[in-house]
A and B are shown apart, each in its own frame.
Chain A
Amino acid sequence: MKEKIITILVADDHELFRKGLISLLKDEETFQILGEANNGKDLIYKYLKLKPDVVLSDISMPELSGLEAVSTLLSTYPDAKVIFLSMLSGDDYVYHCYKVGGLGLINKDIPKEELIKAILAVFNGQKYFGKDYSGTKLDELINEYEKQENEKVEIKDVEFTEQEIEVLLLVAKGYTSADIGEKLYLSKRTIDSHRASILHKLKLQTGPQLLRYAISFAEDYKKKNSEC
C-alpha cells in the first residue's frame, strides 16, 4: 500500500534556514512541501490557503511571533498540527509551546532522522518535544507549570471592617501606608495599625504575603461587585 503523502508548510523568517529545511525534506518521498511563510501573519494566510497536514513554525518571527500566530490559527482551526522550531529549548519553551496548542518543539540543530520522526509523530496526532521530554516527563513538567500558574491565594472567609477593605484595595494598587493615609484622610499610623490588624486576621507575617493576598482579594472583590 502506498504511504499517504504528508503535506508541510514551513514558516521561518530566515530564508537560508527555511530553504535548507525544505531541501532536506524534499528528498523524502512521503513529504511534500506545500509552501513557505516568512512571518506570523504569512503563516496564517498560507495555512488558510493551502491547508497543510503539518506546520513547521519558527518561534521568533516578525509581524506575529510563531506562538501568537499559531494561537490565533488554532482558535479557528483546532485541528492544525504544529511543530515549533527554536534555537533555544528548555522547560519554559516546552511548556509555552504546549500551552498555545503546539504538538511539538524541536531544536534547530537536531539531525534529520529526528526531524522526520517528529513530523511523523505529530502527523499521527502524537506529541513530540524532543527525546528529553517523552511521555511521563512531559506530563510532569506540564503539571508543575500549571500548578504554579494556577496557584491562587485562598480568599479566606475573614470579616474585615469597611476601612480595612479600603486599605486592602489600595495596598493592591501599590500604595504605601503614607499614600493610603493621604487618600483616606487618616494618619500613616492609623493605616499601619489597619495593616497590622489585617495581617493578624489573616495570620500572615510579611509584606510580600500581604501584597499577594491584597491582589487576589482585589480581583475577587472586583468580580463580586460586578456580579451584583
Chain B
Amino acid sequence: MIRLSDNTTSQFIEILSSWSNPFLLILFFSIVILLVFFFINRHLIKPLEQKHIQEKKELELKNNRMMALFAELDPDPVIRIDSGGKVNFNNQSASDLLEIVPGDIIFDKFSIIEPQKLIELIGADSRYIFPLDFNGVHYNVVMQGNSSLRIAQLYLRDISVIKNLETKLKQLSNYLQYQLDEERFRIANELHDGIIQDLYLVQMGVRKLSKQNSIELTDMISSQVETVTEELRRIIYDLKPKILDELGLEPALQSLCNNVIKESGINGSIKVVGINFRLSKKVELFFYRVIQEAVSNIVKHSGATEFGVILTKDDNLMRAMVIDNGCGLKKTEVSYTNSGFGLINMKERTEGFGGVFKLHSTENEGLTITAEIPVPQ
C-alpha cells in the first residue's frame, strides 16, 4: 500500500517536472514573453517615447521663439502685461515708439486702461479695442485677455495714414461747402444785380403804359422782357448745362470749347473719336465736368496759347485728354497733396468711376490731363 503510494508520488513528481506537463510549458512561455516585452519596452519603446517628448519640447520652444520673433519683428508695438498691469514683454518697436520697457506699469503710460477693467478682461478672455494718441501718432489698440496665462496682449496699429486721410476728407468737405456757399452767393448776386434791376425797368415801363398807351412803349417793354429772359437763360445754362442733357456730350463739349475760345482768345479744338451714341447721364456729366474744370484751369492758370480736348473710346475704355502748351505745373505741384482742390476733385471723380487719372507736366512745356474710365461695351 505504502509502496504503491511511494510509487505514485515519485511518478507524480516525475510528471510534474517533465516537459509534458502543460502547466510548466505555459509558465515557461509566459516568462519568455514577459521578458521579450520587457526588453522591447526598455530598448525600443522607451527611447522612442523620450525622443518624441524631446522633439515636442524643442518644437514648442522653436514655436515660442518664432512667436517672440514675430512680435519682436512686428513694425507695430506689441506689449504683454500681467493682471497687475506690469509689462512682461515688449517688442523693439514698443520701446522705440512708446518708450516702454519690461517692468513698467501700463496704467502710468496709458491712463485709458483701468486696473479693474484689465482684471475683468483677462478673466473673461475678452477683447477691448480703443484709440490712442502718442507723440502725435494715432494708434488703434487691440487688447486681448488670456485667462489661462493670466496675461493680456496689446497690439498697436499705426493708423496715422487713415487719420490724415480723414482730415483731408474733412478739409475737402469744408471746401465743397465753401464752394456751395460761394455759388449761392454768386447766383444771388446775379439775380439781384441783373434780373431784379431789369425787372424794375419793366415795372416802370408798365406803370407808364397805364398812363399813356403807345406802341413804342409796348415795344420797349417787350424788348426788356426779352433781355430778362435771355439773362435768366444764361444763368440757368451756367447752373446746369441743359445742352448736355438734350443734345449729348459732343455738342455740349463743342459748345463749351467754342465759348472758351470766344471769351479767352486761346486757340482750341475738340475731337471726339469712336463715340456716336449717347452714354449714360452719369458718364456724360462726368466727362463734361472734368473737361470743364481742366479747360477752366487752362484759362485761369496756364498762360497757354493753345489747348486741345480729345475724347476717345477704344474697347471698353473711354478716355478724355486735355492738353495745353502753357507753363505746366512746377515740380513741387505735381503731387496731388500740394496742388489745388480742382485736381484732387478730378482725381476723386475719376476714381469714383473705377478709372485712372493722370497728370503729365513738364515745366514750361504744358500740361496733359488724362481721365480714363471703363464703360460697358
Contacts and interface: CB of A to CB of B under 8 A. Distances in A.
Interface string A188-221: 0000000000000000001111011001000100
B247 A209 contact: no
Interface in B220-266: 229, 233, 237, 242-243, 245-248, 251, 254-255
Given A67-B247, A86-B246, A176-B368, A208 B312 contact: no
Contacts of A219: 273
B269 A60 contact: no
B246 A88 contact: yes
B247 A96 contact: yes
A212 B243 CA distance: 25
Nearest to B356: A174
A174 B319 contact: yes
B327 to A, nearest CB: 13
A60 B246 contact: yes
Interface string A90-125: 001100100000000000010000000000000000
Contacts of B248: 67
A14 interface: no
B323 A208 contact: yes
Interface string B278-312: 10000000000000000000000000001110101
B290 to A, nearest CB: 13
A88 B321 contact: no
A173 B310 contact: no
B314 interface: yes
A65 interface: yes
B184 interface: no
B243 A88 contact: yes
B370 interface: yes
A92 B273 contact: no
Contacts of A68: 278
B310 A176 contact: no
Given A88-B237, A206-B306, A212-B308, A59 B246 contact: yes
B82 interface: no
A166 B314 CA distance: 17
B254 A60 contact: no
B310 A212 contact: yes
Interface string A73-88: 0000000000000111
A178 B308 CA distance: 21
Given A88-B237, A174-B370, A211 B242 contact: no
Interface string A151-180: 100000000000000000000111011100
Contacts of B163: none
Given A92-B251, A173-B319, A208-B323, A215 B310 contact: yes
Given A88-B243, A88-B246, A174-B319, A206 B314 contact: no
Contact of A67 (B246, B255, B273, B358): B246
A215 B273 contact: yes
Contacts of B243: 88, 92-93
Most chain B Cβ neighbours within 10 Å, of A65, A96, A148, A209 = A96
A211 B323 contact: yes
B133 interface: no
B360 A93 contact: no
B251 A211 contact: no
B247 A208 contact: no
Nearest to A222: B314
A92 B246 CA distance: 11
A174 B306 contact: no
Contacts of A67: 246-248
Given A173-B314, A174-B321, A215-B273, A208 B245 contact: no
Interface in B193-244: 229, 233, 237, 242-243
Contacts of A215: 271, 273, 310, 312
A60 to B, nearest CB: 5
Nearest to B321: A174
Contacts of B308: 208-209, 211-212
B325 interface: yes
Contacts of B323: 207-208, 211
Given A173-B314, A215-B273, A215-B312, A209 B306 contact: yes
A202 to B, nearest CB: 15
B325 A208 contact: yes
A92 B323 CA distance: 24
Contacts of A176: 358, 360, 368
B360 to A, nearest CB: 4
B310 A211 contact: yes
Contacts of B242: 60, 87-88
B366 A88 contact: no
Contacts of A206: 306, 325, 366
Interface of A: 59-60, 65-68, 86-88, 92-93, 96, 109, 148, 151, 172-174, 176-178, 206-209, 211-212, 215, 219
Going nearest first, the 5 A-B pairs with the smallest beta carbon separation are A208-B308, A176-B360, A206-B325, A174-B370, A59-B246
6 contacts: A88-B242, A96-B251, A174-B358, A174-B370, A178-B360, A208-B306
Given A207-B324, A211-B323, 15 more contacts: A60-B246, A66-B246, A67-B247, A68-B278, A88-B246, A92-B243, A92-B247, A92-B251, A93-B247, A173-B314, A206-B325, A206-B366, A207-B325, A207-B366, A209-B308
